[in-house]
Amino acid sequence: MTPPGLETERLTLRGHRALDFDECLAMWSDPEVTRFIGGRPCTREEVWSKLLRYVGHWTVVGFGYWVIREKASGRYVGETGFADFKRDMEPSVEDAPEIGWALASWAHGRGLATEAVRAVAAWGDAHFGTRRTVCCIHPQNVASLRVAEKAGYRELTRTTYRGEPTILFERWPR
C-alpha cells in the first residue's frame, strides 16, 4: 500500500523515502529527542533500519509512519504514524495498531505534535474501523503525555518495557 498524503493547517504528511535519511538521522541522533525513546541517540545503522521498517509497514500490514513537514518552509518536523512492533510486553498490544511520534527538537513546544497526531488518529479512525489503537509513553515524558491526552488517548495501565517504566494508553474510534 502506498501511504496516503495527509494535510493539516500547518503540516503535510507523506510516506518515508530514502532521501529523508539525513533528516531522520539528525533527529534520531539528538539526545533531547531520544531521552524518553530508548534513552540514547540512535546510530546511522539504527536510523536506516527505522526508515526501512516504516516503509515496510505500509507494504506488509497496510499502515505505517509518515514524515511530517512544515507547509510554510518545507522543513522536516519529524514523524508519526501507526506500527505493529510485536513488542514483548504485558499486557500485549499486538491486537492494536500502536501510534507513535517523534519531532525534531526545534519543533518542540509549538503544538505541531498534537496537530500531526490528531490527523493520524483521524486517519486511523477511518482506516481501522472499530479497532482500538494504543500508545506507550515513558511516565516522565510530560510533553508526549499531553499530546496523547489531546488526541483522545486514555491511560489503560502502567507497565514496563525493556526494563523501563511505561504507561500504556488506548483510544477507541470516535
Q: Residue 78: left if φ>0, alpha if ψ -120 to 50, beta else—which one?
A: left
For residues 74 and 92, what is the distance between their CA atoms, to the nearest angstrom? 38
For residue 122 the three cell numbers come to 483521524
Q: Given pLDDT bands bounded at 50, 70 and 90, which one contains residue 83?
A: very high
- Look at the alpha carbons of 38, 44, 48, 51 in this order and tell me if their dihedral is positive or negative: positive
Which pLDDT band, with edges at 50, 70 and 90, does 42 fall under? very high
Q: Give the per-residue pLDDT at 94.
A: 87
Q: Which three cell numbers stand for residue 112?
A: 505541531
Distance between CA atoms of 64 and 86, rounded to whole angstroms?
14
Average pLDDT over residues 91-106: 95
**pLDDT(174) > 90:** no
Provide the mean pLDDT of the chain.
96
Edge-to-edge strand list for the sheet holding 164-171: 6-7, 11-15, 65-70, 76-83, 98-103, 133-137, 164-171, 154-161
Task: Write down the pTM of the prediction.
Answer: 0.95
Asked if the model's pLDDT at residue 11 lies above 90, the reply is yes
For residue 39, the model assigns a pLDDT of 92
Query: Does 1 have pLDDT greater than 90?
Result: no
Query: Which residues are CB-contacts of 22 (< 8 A; sequence separation ≥ 6)?
Result: none
